[in-house]
Amino acid sequence: MKFKESLLQGIFIKRYKRFFVDIKYKNKTITSHCPNTGSMMGLLDKDNIVFFSKSDNPDRKLKYTLQIIKAKNKLVGINTHLTNKIVLEALTNKKIKDLIKYNTIKSEVKFSEKTRFDFLISNNKEKCFVEVKNVTLSRKNKIAEFPDSPTARGIKHLNDLCLSKKKGFKAYILYLIQRNDCESFSIAADIDLDYKVSLEKALKSGVKLLCYDCKLDGDEIKLNKEIKYI
């Protein structure tokens, strides 16, 4: 997924009210939208280099959007709004080997009154729901982790994927690691043990797990290679 224009570079100052960050740019302090509801653990050290985009939309209150943080010399994509776009591009271009047999792709598909899954993909024989989670956390050497804060919503999605299996659908949970310095992926049970338990139940019920990292720079972020779950 290419950015419309190359990203601007600045220095991280602070995050506040969850969706705001201050950035030092050309000797001025600007306020940028932070499109990430998680804790962003390990990414928010003062003076980290950041990359952000500028919008030309005159109706936007904040012209800037934080996209990438350079933490411990590693680039990490933090914009959760891009996650599904990256995966959609990969599905369309048949970059996810387990899912290449599906030819029809629909986004944001309603499953129940309170649940929409990120994708419904299908062929002439079967239909498959895919729920996508964005991953930024890495506390241990070359291990990506999810979640970075407790997630009741994430647990609900796992439970609903189990329900979809009972209704005859195939079901996948796909973790997209917006960084490329990790060799494996695990669940941060110390942060949310209930999520770990829910995932184990989902896998036993037949929900499949996929995990991919990304290649990223100031011009684009795209799905890269499959990462093992441990």
Query: What separation in angstroms does the CA of 93 have from each of 1, 17, 55, 130, 148?
Result: 12, 38, 28, 16, 30
pLDDT of residue 32: 98
Residue 140: which pLDDT band, with cuts at 50, 70 and 90? confident
Helix (H) or strand (E) holding 186: strand 184-187
Q: State yes or no: pLDDT of 126 exceeds 90.
A: yes
pLDDT of residue 5: 87
Residue 205: which pLDDT band, with cuts at 50, 70 and 90? very high
Provide the mean pLDDT of the chain: 96
CATH number of 80-229: 3.40.1350.60
Residue whose tokens read 């979809």: 164
> Per-residue pLDDT averaged across 110-115, rounded?
92
CATH number for 8-77: choose from 2.40.50.580, 2.40.50.1070, 3.40.50.2300, 3.40.50.1220: 2.40.50.580
> Per-residue pLDDT averaged across 204-215, rounded?
98
Q: State yes or no: pLDDT of 113 exceeds 90.
A: no
Domain extents in the chain: 8-77, 80-229
Give percent of the chain with pLDDT exceeding 70.
100
pLDDT digits (tens, 9 = 90+) for 26-85: 999 999 999 999 999 999 999 999 999 999 888 888 999 999 999 999 999 999 999 999
In contact, 202 and 166? CB cutoff 8 Å: no
> Per-residue pLDDT averaged across 157-179, rounded?
98
pLDDT of residue 167: 97
Give the N- to C-terminal CA distance of the chain in Å, as an integer. 28
**Alpha-carbon distance 29 to 12, whole Å?**
10
Q: Is 176 exposed, middle or buried (0-12, 13-18, 19+ CB in 10 A)?
A: buried
